[in-house]
Structure 1
Amino acid sequence: MSDSDNYLKKKKLFSRLLTIYGRNTVYEALCMPGVKAERLHFASSNKKAKVLDDIEHLAREQGADVLYHDKGALSRISKNAKQDQGVALDIRTEGLAEFDANTLEAGGEYIALDRITNPQNLGMIIRSVCASPIKALILPRKGCAKLDALVIKASAGSLFRCPILRCDSLTQALSQAQQEGARIAGLDLKATTSFSAIDDQHTRIFVLGNESEGIGKEVQALCDERLRIDMARGVESLNVAVTASLIALRKQLT
């Protein structure tokens, strides 16, 4: 295998690794069914503690490499020196990848999240997307809840299988998708177009906004269409995770 092939293989592996940190977070994740630990990172300055012994035992049971670093190196891995508590864990995921507008499937449907901050909501959305015909969840690295043990638990482990496309900027990702012919559909309680009236001919990205504020102004400005979900008996709105489930599973329920 050439150096170029080795590089591409490693790049693909690293793009599918999810790094979590913190003693309780790592321990709880290792106890969950479906977790595939790749590498466990310890600070070499850690004092002996039972929880660290338990973490190491669980990681080695899964065949993970156990590595020791100075505090500076560990903080570069965890990207959170104040909260990593001297431990970080790389977890293998099947569907995690970088967003690339050129790879969006023609006629496919996607869900994008704008500032979803509740880990329970994010986990439930991931579970719905994983169970549905939706091609992938588009998830920005900043502004949304972190992919941590709370999200893993709320997703019932589906985080490790769900196709998730990470991006640094949701606005930039949506703009690139538009240039490739995708339609951006924002969910809006005040919209005049019903969600049930859309066609299935276009590549479409449904955008769900913050639990209390909705879709941000920059993302709103990109929307090609705004859609509402018709509701009965005077109900004004739905939880964002419930809304995501209705969108994700609509084709399976009709």
Structure 2
Amino acid sequence: MQKDTQIIGIRAIIEAIKAGTTIDKVFIQKNTQGELMSSLLKLLKQHSINFSYVPVEKLNKLSQGNHQGAVATISPISFVALEQLVEEVLWKKENPLFLILDQLSDTGNFGAIIRTASCTGVDGIIIQKHGAAPVNATTVKTSAGAVFKIPICKVDHIKDAVFYFQSSGIQIIAATEKAKQTIYEHDLKPGVALIMGSEEKGINPSVLKLVDTAVKLPILGEIESLNVSVACGAMLYEIVRQRL
């Protein structure tokens, strides 16, 4: 059984995966067992599809009860391979601009960031396969349709993207309040991959150790931090300002 953005039922999800459907995430009922479920789990791991175990109430809400222990959400877009994206962009321009989102899980912020990224000429957005905000109806709405206009890549680990960008001659800049310099003090004219973290966790410490530069925005009031989509917009527009 399939809805507009869902595939409901274990067997239906298995067939969809085999058919090459772009699945964003699979929700599996806790403690569900059986041969068919084992086959589904094997396929999910083989194809690196994001999945999580949830209470039956979650599945009932998604499917009105007739789910047989599993519901999949379908991505409205096709994701691009990182290597393909970087190669194509570097062929066209010398100073590309990429955006890496580490541990960002809120769909509203994700959509708002995609919208700003499109307005500021970002050449591609990179997210991790597991734990990242899904590309769903909320993302599409808050992005004002920009999600269909900008390439998005999924990688197994953010570190993979960092290493690949660095090997391609693109500097990695992390946005973090732990930075000693503001973004206004750094030269952003060469090729840049900007990393933004989630509001709750920030950027993974193991990723921060790999970056070329860390920058921050000055905070002048009593509130200690900005919404991540607002901070991302301010930083992207500083890159645009320097390049104009």
- Taking structure 1 as the reference length, what is the TM-score of the superposition? 0.65
1:185 partner SS: strand
- Post-superposition shift, 1:103? 4.3
Q: Which residue of 1 aligns with 2:186?
A: 198
Instruction: Identify the match of residue 26 of structure 2 among 56, 59, 80.
Output: 80
- Post-superposition shift, 1:22? 7.0
- Post-superposition shift, 1:234? 3.7
Paired residue type of 1:189: E
| Partner Cα separation in structure 1 for residue 138 and residue 164 of structure 2 | 31
CA RMSD of aligned residues (A): 3.0
Structure 1 residues 215 and 81, CA gap change in structure 2 (3 angstroms): closer
Paired residue type of 1:200: L
- Post-superposition shift, 1:181? 1.4
| Partner Cα separation in structure 1 for residue 223 and residue 120 of structure 2 | 25
Q: For 1:1-254, what aligned pairs fall within 5 Å after superposition?
A: 23=3, 26=5, 70=12, 72-74=14-16, 77=21, 78=23, 80=26, 82=28, 85=67, 91=76, 96-100=79-83, 101-105=86-90, 106-252=94-240
- Taking structure 2 as the reference length, what is the TM-score of the superposition? 0.68
Structure 1 residues 148 and 181, CA gap change in structure 2 (3 angstroms): same
Contact map agreement 2:75 2:135 (CA 8 A) in 1: no
Paired residue type of 1:221: K
- Post-superposition shift, 1:90? 6.4
Contact map agreement 1:107 1:200 (CA 8 A) in 2: no
Q: Which residue of 1 aligns with 2:34?
A: none
> Gaps spanning 5+ residues in structure 2: where?
29-58
> Gaps spanning 5+ residues in structure 1: where?
1-20, 28-40, 46-68
1:198-246: CA deviations, max 9, x gaps?
1134211110112112110221111111101123234421111111111
Structure 1 residues 81 and 189, CA gap change in structure 2 (3 angstroms): closer
| Partner Cα separation in structure 2 for residue 72 and residue 210 of structure 1 | 32
| Partner Cα separation in structure 2 for residue 251 and residue 71 of structure 1 | 42
- Post-superposition shift, 1:252? 4.8
Identity of matched residues, % = 21
1:152-193: CA deviations, max 9, x gaps?
122122111123233222111111111121111111112111
* Residue-pair matches, total: 194
